[in-house]
């Protein structure tokens, strides 16, 4: 396994750079129905198209992606992404692979992601979204210090049914962030 650049870490996990060997697991993570429901998105790309798209994103630096790695065994368990577009809100997202869900690892990784945004990317505030039926994500956002930001709520179409759905928006200001 290649050596990874570590951006932020705690005793349990690290947020690191992606390595080429991560792409297959990251691609497979997008094929998970729960992930697709949480992102209101269906991946319709081949593995090769997915890799090419990610390399293009990295070259243009509008999305900063971090691999979530368990320190004890260097196991990739998901990813944290930060979308940074000029004149738009900086938005953080997370994916935890199925075997590692419901163990508090997502909350821990999202807090590390916020630390990365504030300490490394030097952002003043970050946003995150979830859908009303995703109570686990709402609890995670609350535990991380995010508060509702209703003016950022977005009406979308459900990725399968086409029915209207609202993505709820949440915000965390740098001055309000407590990393413990």
pLDDT tens, 23-74?
Answer: 899 999 999 999 999 999 899 999 999 888 876 655 444 567 899 999 999 9
- 40, β-bridge pairs: none
Q: How far apart are the first and last CA of the chain?
A: 31
3-state secondary structure of 54: helix
Dist CA 110 CA 112 (whole Å): 5
The CATH number of 6-124 is which of 3.40.630.30, 3.30.70.20, 3.40.50.300, 3.40.50.2300? 3.40.630.30
Dist CA 73 CA 11 (whole Å): 12
Q: How many helices (H) and strands (E) does the chain have?
A: 5, 9
Q: Indicate the pTM of the whole model.
A: 0.90
The residue ranges of every structural domain in the chain are 6-124
């Amino acid at each position: 396994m290649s050596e990874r650049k570590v951006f932020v870490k705690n005793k349990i996990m690290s947020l690191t750079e992606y390595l080429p060997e991560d792409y297959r697991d990251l691609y497979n993570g997008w094929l998970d129905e729960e992930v697709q429901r949480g992102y209101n998105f269906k991946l319709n790309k081949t593995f090769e198209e997915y890799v090419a798209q990610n390399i293009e994103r990295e070259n243009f630096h509008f999305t900063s992606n971090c691999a979530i790695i368990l320190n004890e065994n260097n196991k990739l368990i998901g990813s944290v992404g930060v979308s940074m577009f000029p004149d738009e809100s900086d938005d953080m997202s997370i994916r935890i692979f199925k075997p590692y869900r419901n163990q508090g690892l997502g909350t821990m990784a999202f807090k590390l992601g916020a630390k990365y945004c504030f300490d490394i990317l030097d952002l003043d505030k970050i946003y995150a979204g979830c859908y009303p039926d995703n109570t686990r994500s709402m609890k995670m956002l609350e535990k991380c210090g995010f508060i509702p930001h209703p003016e950022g709520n977005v009406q979308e179409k459900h990725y399968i049914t086409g029915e209207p759905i609202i993505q709820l928006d949440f915000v965390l200001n740098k001055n309000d962030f407590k990393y413990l």
